[in-house]
Amino acid sequence: MIVSGEQGRRNTLPGFGLTMGLTLTWLSIIVLIPLAGLFIKTFELSWDQFIAIVTSRRTLNALKISFGLAFAAAAVNLVMGVVIVWALVRYRFPGRRIFDAIVDIPFALPTAVAGIALTSLFAQKGWLGAPLAELGIKVAFTPLGIFVAMIFIGIPFVVRTVQPVLIDLDTEIEEAAASLGANRWQIISRVILPSLIPAILTGFALAFARAIGEYGSVIFIAGNLPNVSEIAPLLIVIRLSEFRYADATAIAVVMLVAAFLIIFAVNRIQSWAQNRFPVH
């Protein structure tokens, strides 16, 4: 948010009309018109047709798989993200800086590369797949594989939203609590965790949203069996290749609305956190 009481002075710079016009034009061409096109296409369907597509068995299962596994993976990321942040911020250990840097790799590595690497890693003869197979656990080409890929893609979201908050957290409050006789667990659960919660929830929501829409890193390891291990984005691709545009569009709208709701929730969490902790 920018606060300026000097409205008059700001307008002395040239180029507002031109740059704003260009911005709105380019934004419309690349983002707004294509997105509007998707919704217009959906309105060509009647409500009953839309419901019939979305509630057909295969679509419903694909949506369940995408949303359910994304939620579970984001939950794992929530817990492990906090553990990782805690280790990186509060402790010193050999290789800490390197581990801090590699947290960003799931952001930076192209999804197709992540996809084939995870598949080979967890395949029956893979480095991790072979020992897991001996334990009777099959990861690649099962829903468990989708789960693993979604965990991979979501790690940085929780770590990178929680980390700066924990770094900025004033340790004086902890010392005050300690001097008042609180034990370590009380300090963590009553002093530290509450101030991390908005960041944790934001990271969770971002990881969840990313995993729902994720395609490249999932499809190689998924197995892609309809109703079992077929994610919603893949079903969109399949419907497109069958020229069933209406089906593809209806699934896309459901996913897009969900994504926008999550972004809305994140914004609410942020403003709630700002009201609760006005310092930030």
Partner 1 sequence: MTDGQIVLREAATDARTEPRLIRWIVIGLAVLFLTVFVVLPLVLVFAEAFSRGVGAYFSALLEPEGLAAIRLTLVVAAISLTLNLVFGLIAAWAITKFDFPGKSFLITLIDLPFSVSPVISGLLFVLLFGMQGFFGPWLQDHNVQILFAVPGIALATIFVTFPFVARALIPLMQEQGTLEEEAAVSLGASGLQTFFRVTLPNIKWGVLYGVLLCNARAMGEFGAVSVVSGHIRGETNTMPLLVEILYNEYQFVAAFAIASLLAMLALVTLVAKTILERHLDEGQQLSDD
CB of 231 to partner 1, least distance (A): 10
CB of 246 to partner 1, least distance (A): 9
CB of 58 to partner 1, least distance (A): 16
- By beta-carbon proximity to partner 1, the closer residue of 83 and 228 is 83
CB of 207 to partner 1, least distance (A): 13
CB of 276 to partner 1, least distance (A): 20
CB of 51 to partner 1, least distance (A): 20
CB of 142 to partner 1, least distance (A): 17
- Residue linked to tokens 């709630």: 272
Residues 6+ positions from 206 with CB-CB distance below 8 Å: 157, 158, 161, 266
Rounded to a whole number of angstroms, the distance between the first and last alpha carbons of the chain is 13
Instruction: Give the integer Cα–Cα distance in Å for 266 and 262.
Output: 6
- By beta-carbon proximity to partner 1, the closer residue of 33 and 137 is 33
Q: Are 178 and 76 in contact (CB under 8 A)?
A: no
Reading the block at residue 30, the tokens are 């690349």
CB of 41 to partner 1, least distance (A): 5
Q: Are 251 and 67 in contact (CB under 8 A)?
A: no
Pick from 220, 215, 212: which is nearest to 255 by CA? 212
